[in-house]
Chains A and B, each alone.
Chain A
Amino acid sequence: MTRKQRRLTLIGTGLGVLGLAAALVLFALKDTIVFFNSPSDLVDKHVGPGTRVRLGGLVEQGSVTRGENLNVRFQVTDGNRAVAVVYQGILPDLFREGQGVIAEGALEPGGIFKADTVLAKHDEKYMPKEVADALKKQGHWKDDYGQKASIPSGKSQ
């Protein structure tokens, strides 16, 4: 092999691996990302049944009902609209009525959101950023949420 051929092989392999990585990334970005929506977004954007999304908002006061076999049903609201969510399993320690929550799953044909993951943060003062933004957008941001979020003022790891 000449010097030039060696260099070309090296460059070719490099471009090949980078090309493969780029192809994988583009392919995966099309299929695997999940959009974040507030209950209003779900309606406004006409998110259809079966599309995987993250639904974020507040757990509506008095809406949590527990059924047999660890089935839970609750409403997620952003102040304007509310969506009914069903979930089977153990809820996170910090899942409470009136607190921020993110549920990942998809709408069922009947308009009920079936979640397979429910996230609540590990700090009771913490409001998920997406939820806070969604509430602000809907004009339902209350100052005490802001305070809740700012009390740790950078001190809670």
Chain B
Amino acid sequence: MIAELGHYALVLALGLALVQSVVPIIGVRARDAVLMGVAEPTALAQFGFVTFAFGALVACYVTSDFSVATVFENSHSAMPLVYKITSAWGNHEGSMLLWVLILAVFGSLVALFSGNLPDELRATVLAVQSWIMAAFLLFILLTSNPFARLAEAPFEGRDLNPVLQDPGLAIHPPLLYLGYVGFSISFSFAIAALLEGRIDAAWARWVRPWILAAWMFLTVGIAMGSYWAYYTLGWGGWWFWDPVENASLMPWLAGTALLHSALVMEKREALKVWTILLAILTFSLSLIGTFLVRSGVLSSVHAFASDPMRGIFILAILVVFIGGALALYAWRAPLLKQGGLFAPISREGALVLNNLFLTAACATVFVGTLYPLALEAVTGEKISVGAPFFDATFGPLLVLLLLAVPFGPLMSWKRGDLLAVSQRLLGAFAAAGFGILVTLAVQGRPALAALGIGLGLFVIAGAITDLVERTGLLRAPPATVVQRAVGLPRSAWGAALAHIGLGLTLLGIIGETQWGSERIVSLKPEQHVAIGNYDLTFEGTVTRDGPNYRELAATFAVQRGGEFIGMMQPSKRTFATRSTTTTEAALMMQGVSQLYLSLGDPGPDGSVTVRLYYKPLVLLIWLGAVVMMLGGAMSLSDRRLRVGAPKPGKRKSEMQPAE
């Protein structure tokens, strides 16, 4: 019964979405406030119905109602409760419902927090938002109904894919979708601006919080996914340049560019046409990502299944939304008035450079991801494009971008002075040089790695320089510094934090890839193995039973410099229901470095094969992303960026130094 109610709620939500797609637009045309006002209650009601449907689906999983097809396919009565809940979206149908739920969340947030938008703009934005909603609700109802019943209810379910029985499934997909789907709002705003043929700095101010929020979630969502793959796949890798990963990286790159270009638009009314295009492209890339993952056209290390009908449906959604948006753009964008001028060497110029590098980097990822598909379609030749391609293309572009990062925030708007900025960055240059020398002295070769460390330090020190300059830390008396630091816009702190995070991630990447070590050995009990400065003793294996698996765990005692520092216990789990084995790596933190143990096959004589990794600085990769997210949150809390326009009375206090 609950499944049918959930299904019915989805149908009702679709009906509302169709109403919301049309009526507000008619209202805008007819200048009818009542018709325009329809959008808000329908958006909230849609949220209510979709939430109910999602709750119904989770209830089916929690009660192990195996008469529902997806529950039968993906759940098992012996699973712990948390995995029963998460398995609701650990499959195609459920994850699409989660996608739509998050779309509904954003739709209702726009309805709730856009009180100070002009009525026409708000009505149009909500209508466009509802077009997307209607398309995906139709997709779910026609091709991927999560509530479909089986004729005869089986006694037991098939269990969730054991690789997914992990807390990561509770965190990663929701965060990632919050990012993907969050960019639908800037898309809707862009379409609304094109439809109205009018756009100004206020538009950028309204849309920027939404971009920031989506970007934060996407950043941390990608990082979480990376960490999950790192500890769960047992290969010690954190990024495989896999199509599914690239699908999430592309909107991130475009979204990061959008974040920066919207800044120019808000402050200087320049780059309007470009910002609109980026807003369209970012969400298009999110849709393409959904298509790549959900249609199964690409084979990937993350196994996803395919169904041609779904692929064609999502492809149709892609064509309509991306094609339609770009056509509208080509038609209407020339109507938008160009904004302020600026010299090439200026804050705007630096942000343009940022956009150029980010979009070029995004394009290389796009080519690398889709070229194999295109080539196979044209010539039938199958190829794989892997890490070497991306290292050779994405890498250099990103290095150039990182070199430019510290200069941007120190430039003044309109016309900057490169020499003066370089002088102010002397401290950052010194930090980088010092880092390079120390790295060369301590680690020696490769020289490229030392330069990488230098680059990371340069980015971090550059961001700190910006804060030091603005607070006058080295020049003004302490009281003034504190006063200035408090008065500094939060968005300035946020930008500096985000750039620091970027530098931290780079340091982590360099550390892990350049100085990490790996050993694969076969050990009998009481035998030793050394890696890095650590010495591990294999103490034996134990077998134990989990809720729905049997586990073989090997115990290792870890010593450093002859001193015992802890035990590590990697294991292998066998899930009888799917006759599958998973590898559970053991991790030991040492500061921001990690020891990583993953178990291979046990031998007949009580020996085990084990893969050992020492991964220096590896945690910085993800900590950097978390710092970036905190930077985003800091900016989001800036008074000037509170959702909606600022109160007129406060305008004066906003003439603060530009960030």
A42 to chain B, nearest CB (A): 13
- Chain A residues, CB < 8 A from B306: 154
| B393 contacts A by Cβ under 8 Å | yes
| B114 contacts A by Cβ under 8 Å | no
| A34 contacts B by Cβ under 8 Å | yes
Within 8 A of B (CB), among A47-74: 54, 69-70
Q: A13-B356, A154-B306, A157-B95 are in contact. Are A32 and B344 (CB under 8 A)?
A: no
- Chain A residues, CB < 8 A from B566: none
Contact B307 A36 (CB under 8 A): no
- Chain B residues, CB < 8 A from A89: 520
| A152 contacts B by Cβ under 8 Å | yes
Contact A33 B384 (CB under 8 A): yes
A100 to B303, CA, bound (A): 14
The stretch of A21-29, A78-86, A105-113 in contact with B is A21-29
Contact B307 A153 (CB under 8 A): yes
A63 to chain B, nearest CB (A): 17
Contact B392 A36 (CB under 8 A): no
Q: Which one of B361, B381, B522 contacts A69 once the chains associate, using CB atoms below 8 Å? A: B522
Q: Is the interface of A mostly helix, strand, loop or mixed?
A: mixed
Contact B307 A154 (CB under 8 A): yes
Q: Which one of A9, A21, A35, A133 contacts B363 once the chains associate, using CB atoms below 8 Å? A: A21
Contact A13 B310 (CB under 8 A): no
- Chain A residues, CB < 8 A from B572: 93
| B152 contacts A by Cβ under 8 Å | no
Contact A17 B583 (CB under 8 A): no
A1 to B579, CA, bound (A): 71
Q: How large is the interface on A (under 10, 10 to 19, 20 to 34, 35 or more residues)?
A: 35 or more
| A90 contacts B by Cβ under 8 Å | yes
Contact B383 A24 (CB under 8 A): no
Residue of A nearest to B578 (CB): A124
Contact B92 A157 (CB under 8 A): yes
Q: Which one of A24, A122, A152, A156 contacts B396 once the chains associate, using CB atoms below 8 Å? A: A24
Chain B 290-315 interface 0/1 with A at a Cβ cutoff of 8 Å (1 = within): 00000010010111111100100000
- Chain B residues, CB < 8 A from A28: 388-389, 392-393
- Chain B residues, CB < 8 A from A29: 367, 371, 385, 389
Contact B364 A25 (CB under 8 A): yes
Contact A34 B386 (CB under 8 A): yes
Contact A34 B383 (CB under 8 A): yes
Contact A24 B161 (CB under 8 A): no
Q: A9-B344, A157-B304 are in contact. Are A14 and B396 (CB under 8 A)?
A: no
A36 to B381, CA, bound (A): 8
Within 8 A of B (CB), among A123-157: 123-124, 126, 128-130, 133, 152-157
| B248 contacts A by Cβ under 8 Å | no
Contact A90 B611 (CB under 8 A): yes
- Chain B residues, CB < 8 A from A6: 341-344
Q: A128-B299, A157-B95 are in contact. Are A17 and B356 (CB under 8 A)?
A: yes
B87 to chain A, nearest CB (A): 10
Q: Which one of B91, B310, B352, B609 contacts A10 once the chains associate, using CB atoms below 8 Å? A: B352
Q: A18-B360, A93-B581 are in contact. Are A24 and B385 (CB under 8 A)?
A: no
- Chain A residues, CB < 8 A from B74: 155
Contact A130 B580 (CB under 8 A): no
Residue of B nearest to A132 (CB): B299
- Chain B residues, CB < 8 A from A14: 352, 356
Contact B344 A10 (CB under 8 A): yes
A62 to chain B, nearest CB (A): 18
Within 8 A of A (CB), among B362-383: 363-364, 367-368, 371-372, 381-383
Contact B341 A3 (CB under 8 A): yes
- Chain B residues, CB < 8 A from A154: 92, 144, 296, 305-307, 310
Contact B343 A1 (CB under 8 A): yes
| Of listed A10, A31, A152, A154, residue having the most chain B CB within 10 A | A154
Residue of B nearest to A149 (CB): B305
- Chain A residues, CB < 8 A from B164: 157
A54 to B95, CA, bound (A): 32
| B535 contacts A by Cβ under 8 Å | no
Contact B307 A124 (CB under 8 A): no
A10 to B392, CA, bound (A): 26
Contact A155 B601 (CB under 8 A): no
A151 to B341, CA, bound (A): 60
Residue of A nearest to B352 (CB): A10
| Of listed B305, B306, B392, residue having the most chain A CB within 10 A | B305
| Of listed B234, B349, B393, residue having the most chain A CB within 10 A | B393
A34 to B305, CA, bound (A): 24
B389 to chain A, nearest CB (A): 4
A6 to B344, CA, bound (A): 6
- Chain A residues, CB < 8 A from B385: 29, 32-34
A35 to B305, CA, bound (A): 23
Contact B522 A70 (CB under 8 A): yes
Q: Which one of A31, A90, A126 contacts B520 once the chains associate, using CB atoms below 8 Å? A: A90
Q: A13-B352, A36-B383 are in contact. Are A126 and B303 (CB under 8 A)?
A: yes
Residue of A nearest to B90 (CB): A157
Name 9 A/B residue pairs within 8 A (Cβ), A-sorted: A6-B344, A13-B356, A17-B356, A32-B392, A93-B583, A126-B303, A129-B299, A154-B305, A157-B303
Given contacts A17-B357, A33-B389, 18 further A-B contacts (CB under 8 A): A1-B343, A1-B344, A3-B341, A6-B343, A13-B353, A21-B364, A24-B397, A29-B367, A29-B389, A33-B384, A35-B382, A36-B382, A36-B384, A89-B520, A90-B598, A122-B163, A130-B382, A156-B303
Residues of B participating in the A interface, judged by any CB pair closer than 8 Å: 70, 73-74, 90-93, 95, 144, 161, 163-164, 233-234, 296, 299, 301-307, 310, 341-344, 349, 352-353, 356-357, 360-361, 363-364, 367-368, 371-372, 381-386, 388-389, 392-393, 396-397, 520, 522, 572, 578-583, 598, 600-601, 609, 611
